[in-house]
Amino acid sequence: MAITYNNPEIANNATSVEVTFTNDEGKVFKRHINVPYKDGAVDADGWAVRLEEHLAAVKHKVSVGVVSFVDPTDPANANTAPGAAAAAAPAPIGG
């Protein structure tokens, strides 16, 4: 199964960006990836390496069954990033 990724535009001073991985069925898996900087600017070579490393990691996780791709048109799959539900949940009272 082929898996590709988008190379999103990186906003000024962004610490991470959401990258979407797409399989050959058009289903997606999203994750945030930290942006490498060098001398105050995005390290383009480091970014390219980081994207390829994450692609390899996603492929491996798919092969062992710990990552699944979802239909991006299904509203139930609006955010597939790990921890997204916890981040969107309100903070507990007193904590």
**From the DSSP assignment, how many helices (H) and strands (E) are in the chain?**
2, 5
Indicate if the pLDDT at residue 70 is higher than 70.
yes
The structure tokens listed for 83 are 């921890």
Q: What was the pLDDT predicted at 87?
A: 47
The HSE-up count of residue 54 (CA atoms within 13 Å, CB side) is 23
Indicate if the pLDDT at residue 51 is higher than 50.
yes
Q: In the predicted model, what is the mean pLDDT of the chain?
A: 86
Whether pTM exceeds 0.85: no
Q: What was the pLDDT predicted at 86?
A: 47
Q: What was the pLDDT predicted at 83?
A: 52
Q: Shortest CA distance to 7 belongs to which of 58, 65, 48?
A: 48
Burial (Cβ within 10 Å: 0-12, 13-18, ≥19) of residue 30: buried
Segment 61-87 shows an average pLDDT of 76
